Copies of this chain bind each other. A is one copy, B any other.
């Protein structure tokens, strides 16, 4: 863990073309400050890994709307017409992954597993070009791990060791994505002194977190 950094310092770390994981589910549990700052910075050609495209002004939406995203990897884009439009025009590449496969592949990427073996997707378009492995008479799809250069994490509380807690359904992909990127940047709602978060309440150990965004108020 390093010291808390400003939003600008965080944005400066992320180059054009970076592969960025973004937590959240329909924009809930997404680090909105980082998304807004990235969108405002005019980054180009990002690949974003995020569960859903949310709406044009929530979740990853602002990044896509601002034209920062070249490729979207996730499970659902049904309620973001901007994403639908950019996909049709060819401006945005979309790779759809079943949600359970998506999160488990990210976990595998962070936990040193060679891939996952899932029944999900067998016999569908998703299985095309992928290995099917039979284990004890049942078929499983071999899906490869997913990792990113950066994971942008929305936390409820954070201490100066980098320990994170999440709140209710804003948890979702955050603890998993915090495992699987070269650089993990957390945007907490509050930073508390070390020792305030009980060990059993920590959802992401600080040793996984590289940077924490300073609160401006």
Q: What distance in Å separates the Cβ of A116 from its nearest Cβ neighbour in chain B?
A: 6
- Which of A26-34, A79-87, A135-143 touches B? A135-143
Docked pose: A200 CA to B115 CA in angstroms: 29
CB distance from A166 to the nearest CB of B (A): 7
Proximity bits, A127-148, B CB within 8 Å = 1, else 0: 0000001011010101010000
Contact call B104/A133, Cβ cutoff below 8 A: no
Q: Tell me which of B138, B168, B200 contacts A167 (CB under 8 A).
A: B200
- Measured in the bound complex, the distance between the Cα atoms of B111 and A2 in whole Å is 35
Task: State the CA gap A39–B201 with chains docked (Å).
Answer: 35
Would you list which residues of chain A between 30 and 48 have a CB under 8 Å from chain B?
A: none
Query: Given A166-B200, A167-B200: A135 and B118 within 8 A (CB)?
Result: no
Contact B117 A114 (CB under 8 A): yes
* Option from B114, B138, B200 in Cβ contact (under 8 Å) with A135: B114
Cα(A113)–Cα(B121), bound, Å: 13
Other A-B contacts than A113-B140, A133-B142, A201-B201, 6 sampled, CB-CB below 8 A, are A108-B117, A114-B117, A116-B117, A117-B117, A165-B200, A167-B200
8 inter-chain pairs at a CB distance below 8 angstroms, sorted by A residue, are: A113-B116, A113-B117, A113-B118, A114-B135, A114-B138, A135-B142, A166-B200, A171-B200
